[in-house]
């Protein structure tokens, strides 16, 4: 087996967000909003808007603190 195939298999076995939906990503962002790095990664990955976060229960101050990352 070549190096690239070995790397691909290793990445798939260690991938934490392999089957995540947009709704579950929004829930994760709202519940773990204090963990800024994970929240920013999910926001940029899914292109989450401020309106979606506010509807899911995030506070206005937390949403505004993300600045230009959120649409």
Give pTM, 2 decimals.
0.68
Is the predicted pLDDT of residue 5 greater than 80, yes or no? no
Q: What is the pLDDT of residue 51?
A: 93
Break the chain into its structural domains and give their ranges: 18-69
Q: What is the pLDDT of residue 8?
A: 64
Q: What is the pLDDT of residue 18?
A: 61
Q: What is the pLDDT of residues 13-59, one digit of tens each?
A: 555 556 788 899 899 999 988 888 888 988 998 899 999 999 999 99
The two structure tokens encoding residue 53: 């976060």
Q: What is the pLDDT of residue 6?
A: 62
How far is Cα 29 from Cα 20, in angstroms, rounded to an integer?
Answer: 12
């Amino acid at each position: 087996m070549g190096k690239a195939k070995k790397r691909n298999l290793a990445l798939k076995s260690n991938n934490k967000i392999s089957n995540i939906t947009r709704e579950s990503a929004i829930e994760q962002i709202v519940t773990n909003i204090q963990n800024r790095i994970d929240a920013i990664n999910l926001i940029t990955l899914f292109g989450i808007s401020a309106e979606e976060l506010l509807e899911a229960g995030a506070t206005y101050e937390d949403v505004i603190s993300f600045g230009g990352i959120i649409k």
